[in-house]
C-alpha cells in the first residue's frame, strides 16, 4: 500500500529551505503531492511575486515531488479530502495551528497524521532560507 504525503505552501521564490522541507516530506512516505497555495489564499504574508501556475511548475520539477497541484480557490481542505493522504507534512516554521488542523480533519472525516519537518541547517550567512530574506537582499543590492 502506498503511503501518500501532502506538503503545502506558497513557494514564492524557491530556496534551499523549501527543498529541505519537501525532501523531508517525501521521506515520510512513498508519494509526495504538493499543494501550492493560490495567491488569493495567501493572507498571512505579502502577496506572492510569482503567479501560482509558475510556482506549481517549479515545485513540480523538483526530484522529491511526485505531483504538484494548485490549491482550491476558497477551501484549502478540498484537495486534502480528494487526495485522502496518510500524512500532512508541515514546514518547521509554517504558521499553521496543528490543533486547529487536526480538529478540521476530524470534522471532515479525514484520517491522517500531521508531521512537522525539521529546520534546515544553514550553510552560513550567505544562504537565504526565506523568500522575505531573498526579497530584502534583492532590494538591498539592486533597489
- Domains in the chain, start-ordered, CATH in brackets? 4-142 (3.40.50.620)
Query: Does the annotation flag 16 for ligand binding?
Result: yes
CA distance 30 to 15: 23
User: Span 5-29, mean pLDDT?
Assistant: 94
11 is known to lie in a ligand binding site: yes
Residue 79 labelled as part of a binding site = no
Q: Which residue has the higher pLDDT, 64 or 47?
A: 64
Query: In 10 A of CB 111, how many CB atoms?
Result: 10
How many angstroms separate the Cα of 34 from the Cα of each of 5, 39, 68, 107, 127? 8, 16, 5, 23, 24
Is 124 labeled as ligand-binding? Answer: no
What pLDDT score was predicted for residue 124? 59
Query: Could you tell me if 68 and 34 are in contact, meaning their C-beta atoms sit under 8 angstroms apart?
Result: yes
Bridge partner list, 114:
88
Binding residue per annotation — 95? no
Query: Does residue 123 register a pLDDT over 70?
Result: no
Amino acid at each position: 500500500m502506498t503511503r501518500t504525503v501532502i506538503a503545502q505552501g506558497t513557494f514564492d521564490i524557491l530556496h534551499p529551505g523549501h527543498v529541505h522541507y519537501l525532501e523531508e516530506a517525501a521521506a515520510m512516505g512513498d508519494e509526495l503531492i504538493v499543494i501550492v497555495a493560490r495567491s488569493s489564499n495567501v493572507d498571512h504574508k505579502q502577496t506572492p511575486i510569482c503567479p501560482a501556475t509558475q510556482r506549481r511548475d517549479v515545485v513540480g520539477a523538483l526530484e522529491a515531488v511526485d505531483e504538484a497541484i494548485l490549491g482550491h480557490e476558497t477551501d484549502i481542505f478540498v484537495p486534502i479530502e480528494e487526495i485522502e493522504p496518510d500524512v500532512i507534512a508541515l514546514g518547521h516554521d509554517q504558521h499553521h495551528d496543528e490543533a486547529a488542523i487536526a480538529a478540521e480533519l476530524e470534522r471532515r472525516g479525514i484520517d491522517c497524521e500531521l508531521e512537522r519537518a525539521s529546520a534546515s541547517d544553514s550553510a552560513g550567512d550567505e544562504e537565504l532560507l526565506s523568500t522575505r530574506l531573498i526579497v530584502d537582499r534583492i532590494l538591498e543590492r539592486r533597489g
